[in-house]
């Protein structure tokens, strides 16, 4: 009787050990698969980051902040480009508060009775700005030349504009 109890106890212990081994192996294999998947994702994300950095570099090519020649020109004129950028942006958006039907820079009037407004402004270099405008129905873009007269007065001159055709 005692031998049977020990035999059953031995078999039961053996079954528990076998269960623990199989369970641990499954957990180990699953964690290895998760680590491999995470490594693949990290590689994919690193590639995506490199692509985004390249795209960001391409998009920043035509920008005053990244144009050393324009920055040097402005510094020689005694102007600080870091204060100029928000000033130019504000002055262009201040032109949106015009009276009447005609915007001071945009050569098109609104087709829906509202105002044509400048939305986005991108300062390309020490002379040019590109901006887009819309009235909710029509939209287009502007190429604007700007200059500082007497280092304090800002003036704008429209070089080119176009309007997108209506759908």
Q: Supply the DSSP string of 84-114, one letter for each residue.
A: HHHHHHHHHHHTTS-SSS--SS-----SSSS
The residue out of 25, 41, 59 marking a domain boundary is 59
pLDDT reported for residue 103: 86
Beta strand 128-134 with 117-123 is antiparallel
Same domain, yes or no: 131 and 150: yes
pTM: 0.68
| Token digits of residue 3 | 């031998």
Same domain, yes or no: 77 and 142: yes
Same domain, yes or no: 130 and 72: yes
Count: domains in the chain: 2
For residues 104-119, average pLDDT:
87
Q: Answer for the pair 130, 122: CB distance below 8 angstroms, yes or no.
A: yes
DSSP 8-state class, residue 152: T
In terms of residues, how long is the chain? 167
Share of the chain above pLDDT 90, in %: 53
Same domain, yes or no: 104 and 44: no
Domain with 121, as residue range(s), is: 64-163
Closest C-alpha to 143, from 133, 154, 153, 151: 133
User: Is 90 exceeded by the pLDDT of residue 46?
Assistant: yes
Q: Give the Cα separation of 93 and 78 in Å (integer).
A: 25
DSSP 8-state class, residue 65: G
| End-to-end CA separation in angstroms for the chain | 95
Same domain, yes or no: 114 and 80: yes
The residue out of 27, 59, 91 marking a domain boundary is 59
The partner residues of 123 in beta bridges, in order of sequence, read 129
Same domain, yes or no: 43 and 81: no
CA 145 to chain CA mean position, Å: 26
Q: Answer for the pair 148, 79: CB distance below 8 angstroms, yes or no.
A: yes
For residues 79-95, average pLDDT:
90
User: Is 90 exceeded by the pLDDT of residue 66?
Assistant: no
Residue reference for tokens 């528990």 = 16
pLDDT reported for residue 113: 79
pLDDT-derived band of residue 167, with 50, 70 and 90 as boundaries?
low
The partner residues of 140 in beta bridges, in order of sequence, read 133, 163
pLDDT-derived band of residue 17, with 50, 70 and 90 as boundaries?
very high
pLDDT-derived band of residue 151, with 50, 70 and 90 as boundaries?
low
Q: Give the Cα separation of 118 and 7 in Å (integer).
A: 89
Same domain, yes or no: 155 and 113: yes
């Amino acid at each position: 009787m005692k031998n049977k109890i020990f035999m059953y106890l031995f078999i039961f212990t053996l079954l528990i050990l076998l269960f623990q081994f199989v369970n641990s192996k499954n957990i180990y294999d699953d964690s290895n698969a998760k680590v491999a998947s995470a490594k693949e994702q990290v590689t994919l994300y690193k590639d995506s980051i490199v692509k985004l950095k390249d795209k960001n570099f391409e998009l920043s090519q035509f920008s005053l902040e990244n144009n050393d020649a324009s920055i040097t020109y402005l510094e020689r004129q005694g102007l600080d480009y870091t204060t100029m950028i928000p000033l130019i942006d504000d002055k262009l958006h201040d032109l949106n508060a015009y009276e009447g039907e005609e915007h001071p820079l945009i050569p098109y009037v609104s087709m829906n009775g509202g105002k044509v407004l400048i939305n986005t402004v991108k300062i390309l270099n020490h002379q040019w700005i590109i901006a887009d405008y819309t009235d909710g129905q029509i939209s287009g873009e502007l190429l604007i030349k700007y200059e500082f007269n007497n280092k304090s007065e800002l003036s704008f001159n429209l070089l080119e504009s176009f309007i997108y055709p209506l759908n």
